[in-house]
Each structure stands twice: as C-alpha cells, then as structure tokens.
Structure 1
C-alpha cells in the first residue's frame, strides 16, 4: 500500500464504520498486490489522500483479503474506485485512470 498518513486501510471489518456509516465524501480504491494497474495508480491515490485530507476520506481495500466487501459492491475488475457520499455509492471508475480524472470526480462530488 502506498505511503500516506491520510490513506486508510479499509477491510471487511471496518468498512461499515469507516465508509458505509460515515458522513461526507469517501473514495475507496479496490486493489490487489499482484495487480500491476493497481500499483500504477497507488501513488496518485495516496497523493489525493494527502491533498484532500480533512475533506475526503480516502482508503484502499485489498480484494484478496476482503472478498465480502468487494462482492457486496460487485467489484469484478481491479482497480475499481468507488466514490461514496454519506455511505452511498455515487460514482465508479474502473481501470487505471490518470490522477486528474480521479481529482475531477472528487471536485465534482465536493461541489468545487
């Protein structure tokens, strides 16, 4: 997982409290260690976690270790990034996308 003190590890165990039950905007990167495109976007996700600290909760969920949550949201391809607002999915990006696209989605959902 990319280094950032603002990037949280999301698991089957903490998903409900950290994302589903949380207010505001959250972005969760569904990934796996063996996935090259996942590793490619990892630094961008970490940078956005730092850049939007205090405004957006950013997390990464390892699909190999947290299959229940990945299945709950029908994640079939990784990387998949889900955007949650007040616990509800409001947007999805599948595949490795440039940081600018991720940031545009964050700004759109923040109303910037």
Structure 2
C-alpha cells in the first residue's frame, strides 16, 4: 500500500529519506489520478524497503504542492537525498515509472 505524505510529514518521510522516494501528487476528483492509483500501489509493494512510494493529496496539502510548483495532476516527483531527480506529469505506463525508480536506486 502506498504511503500517505502530508505537509506535516513531507520533510521527515521524503526529504530526509535514505532511500529514493516517488511522490504521487493527486486529487480525489482527478480521473487520470484514479487510473494511476493501482499502479502506485503495485510499485509500493514491489519496491518496499528499497524505495518509498506514496501519495500526497494536493487539495489537503497545498503548501507542499505549491513549493514544488505542481501545476497539473497527477505529477510524480522522484526525490533522492532531498532533491528532485525526475518528474513525470500525467498518467504513464507502470514500466516508465519502474525504470525511473530503478535508475534512482
């Protein structure tokens, strides 16, 4: 199951993580976000212990979404050592996200 990231836990869970983190910026009303939800959950299971995979609801956590200039959703940020190393915007195939996670590990 994907982790739940918030404005409050983002620094501890994402920026201070010692493993790469994929953050899915989403909203409950977003159709493409709903399409990506099972993919994000599958990746969370596959990479458990090797990478953190989680979701951040932009409607409830606007501060973090604004900080990273998330303009359209879904937006997935791959963060390693506190820095954004890759960005994916829109619904994409699982393989595309897997290759980005693999390259960050």
Structure 2, unaligned runs of 5 or more: none
TM-fit CA distance, 1:109? 1.2
Instruction: State the distance in 1 between where 2:76 and 2:23 align.
Output: 6
Across the aligned residues of Structure 1 and Structure 2, the Cα RMSD in angstroms comes to 0.6
Structure 1, unaligned runs of 5 or more: none
> Please, which of 13, 28, 34 is the counterpart of residue 8 of structure 2?
13
2:41 is the counterpart of 1:46: yes
> Please, which of 90, 96, 101 is the counterpart of residue 96 of structure 2?
101
When the two structures are superposed, what TM-score results if normalisation uses the length of structure 1? 0.92
When the two structures are superposed, what TM-score results if normalisation uses the length of structure 2? 0.97
CA deviations on 1:45-94 (whole Å, 9 max, x unpaired) are 10000000000011100000000000000000000000000111100000
- Residues 1-112 of structure 1: matches in 2 within 5 Å? 4=1, 7-110=2-105
Instruction: Find the residue that maps to 2:48 and give its secondary structure.
Output: coil
Instruction: State the distance in 2 between where 1:23 and 1:74 align.
Output: 24
How many positions carry a matched residue from both structures? Answer: 105
TM-fit CA distance, 1:108? 1.3
